[in-house]
A = this chain, B = another copy of it.
Amino acid sequence: MHKILILIHCKDTSGIIATVTNYIYNSGGNIVYIDQHVDSENGIFFMRLESVFDSSDFNYDLFKTNFGTEIGDTYQMKWKMYTSDYTPKMALFVSKYDHCLYDILSRYNAREWNVEIPLIISNHPDLEPVAHNFKIPYHHVPVTKDTKKEAEAKQIALLKEFNIDFIVLARYMQIVSEKIITLYPNKIINIHHSFLPAFVGAKPYHSAFKRGVKIIGATSHYVTEELDAGPIIEQDVTRVTHTHSIKDLIMKGKDLEKIVLSRAIKLHIERKTIVHDNKTIIFS
């Protein structure tokens, strides 16, 4: 049995759903999940589709090639196809905070996600013991003003060496270089400790405290070149009051950050996100 996942977006025209579902059916596939969305303002069609092929002589590569020629090209689709037997490889970038790291690694340990974590990269040595406990190689790549280029080269070398598919910045307190962003478009997940677009940039809890908001938030988004302005994957919030100090906000925020980041990672691993026009489609 082959389970195949297809993500599609293209200009919205008549008959796409019928054509695609029909094509799969005629190729021997049974559609077990379909979710679709039309951005009617901009006339864009989005679809996520899971299909099962039972036949023993099903040829995945051939099917994929033919789908591209017969369907993808015809509708000028941007499309991706995945088989369910592949386990994506995720690199973790951390600095000194460990709450997101523990949350991610304990899920990893409990096999909550279909993912492999071949390495953790950090600009500090502090969290090496945590990585060690979970038996994940830890690479300390210091980043200073003068060593930025060198660090970037080392990071990229590691990402290539381990065939990393996507990167998670688990409270990594550095800006990722443009080159890495270009290598991993919509494949770097960050957690920002505010309810974006409020409080972009550094020290959002301090700003939230100063403004006297009654609710604080956390936002997970794909990293783009503009700081904290990438496509939002997931957000959540929690109530605060005048009794909470900045330290309290930071503490309460940590709980949000780890949950929101882990939800975003799950959505990415399950390939439930499509990015278009700096926004995400999040399939159910």
Contacts and interface: CB of A to CB of B under 8 A. Distances in A.
Contacts of A39: 242
Interface string A251-265: 100010001001000
Interface residues of A, number: 65
A277 to B, nearest CB: 8
Contact of A214 (B14, B232, B284): B232
Contacts of A212: 231-232, 278-280
Given A21-B17, A40-B245, A110 B98 contact: yes
A110 B255 CA distance: 13
B110 A106 contact: no
Interface in A86-109: 98-99, 102-103, 106-107, 109
Interface string A110-121: 101000000000
Contacts of A237: 215, 237
Contacts of A255: 259, 262
A98 B102 contact: no
Contacts of A133: 133
Contacts of A180: none
A34 to B, nearest CB: 5
Interface in A231-284: 231-237, 239, 241-243, 245, 251, 255, 259, 262, 278-282, 284
Contact of A18 (B15, B21, B36, B195): B21
A282 B244 CA distance: 12
A30 interface: yes
A15 B272 CA distance: 23
A18 to B, nearest CB: 3
Nearest to A41: B245
Contacts of A233: 214
A243 B25 contact: no
A284 B215 contact: no
A176 to B, nearest CB: 21
Contacts of A150: none
B215 A236 contact: yes
Interface of A: 14-15, 17-19, 21-22, 24-26, 30-41, 98-99, 102-103, 106-107, 109-110, 112, 133, 195-199, 211-215, 217, 231-237, 239, 241-243, 245, 251, 255, 259, 262, 278-282, 284
